[in-house]
Amino acid sequence: MKNEYQNLPYRFLSSRTLITQNSRGKAVKAGLDDPAFSMMTDFKHVRPFSTTTTTTIDEISQKMIACGVRLLFVAGNNDALLGLVTYNDIFGEKPVRYLQENGGKREEIGAQEIMTPLARLEALELDDILKVRIGDIVETMQSSGRQHILVVKDQADGSQAISGLFSSTQIENRLNIKIELSPRANTFADLERALNE
């Protein structure tokens, strides 16, 4: 091995050594005026969890519980993003509507039938995230009615990569606030239902 690296010295641990956790696991004091990036789950440091289109909703639910998340990316070949599936997709109206329209059994429903497809996904640009505050993210969530916000970065080859994610649950827990999300109409049926309420 060449001498381009240095040998670091070891030191003995003191009797007052504590076991600490990553700061993301602790309730670090934060405020709405803090940089938004400080609240983003950065996929450079945290592995995003994914599933496939054929994974059943029961398997998705089990994976979410095991991973401690409420959103899974649906990936195809070479980790290409095909869509995403959330806790609300599994336990909301989507499985009921699918069964009403197509028949079958709930346990046979796969991610493809309830996921939000790539063509309907929106995201914020990482460069913009670096200029805004947590309060701006909360305002965006409230006005869009979204519990999650994806963050993307343009790549040199013209593609995009998901860089991170904001979660309303994480923000609520860290800031000890409640984010009131306005209902969001995703289809004409949702829009008609919202207008009639």
**127: Cβ–Cβ under 8 A, 6 or more apart, which residues?**
153
The amino acid that residue 177 corresponds to is I
User: Hey, where are the domains in the chain?
Assistant: 31-186
- Give the residue carrying structure tokens 């983003």: 40
- Give the residue carrying structure tokens 């004409």: 188
Measured between alpha carbons, how far is 67 from 80 in angstroms, rounded to an integer? Answer: 21
Q: Are strands 50-51 and 160-167 parallel, antiparallel or unpaired?
A: unpaired
The amino acid that residue 29 corresponds to is K
pLDDT of the residue at 10:
65
pLDDT of the residue at 193:
46
Q: Count each helix (H run) and each strand (E run) in the chain, helices first.
A: 8, 8
Measured between alpha carbons, how far is 74 from 64 in angstroms, rounded to an integer? Answer: 13
The CATH class for the domain spanning 31-186 reads: alpha beta
**Are residues 84 and 117 in contact, defined by beta-carbon separation less than 8 angstroms?**
no
pLDDT of the residue at 24:
46
At residue 50, the 3 state secondary structure works out as strand
pLDDT of the residue at 54:
94
- Give the residue carrying structure tokens 């010295």: 9
What is the residue-level pLDDT of the chain in tens, covering all 197 positions?
Answer: 455 756 667 667 556 555 544 444 445 578 889 999 999 999 999 889 999 999 999 999 999 999 999 999 998 887 889 999 999 999 999 999 999 999 999 999 999 999 999 888 889 999 999 999 999 999 998 888 889 999 988 888 888 889 999 999 999 999 999 998 876 544 444 444 444 44
Residue 112 token pair: 């493809």
Measured between alpha carbons, how far is 154 from 159 in angstroms, rounded to an integer? Answer: 6
Going by C-alpha positions, the residue among 178, 175, 152 that lies closest to residue 39 is 175
pLDDT of the residue at 17:
52
Is 113 exposed, middle or buried, given 0-12, 13-18 or 19+ CB atoms closer than 10 A? buried
**Are residues 120 and 82 in contact, defined by beta-carbon separation less than 8 angstroms?**
no
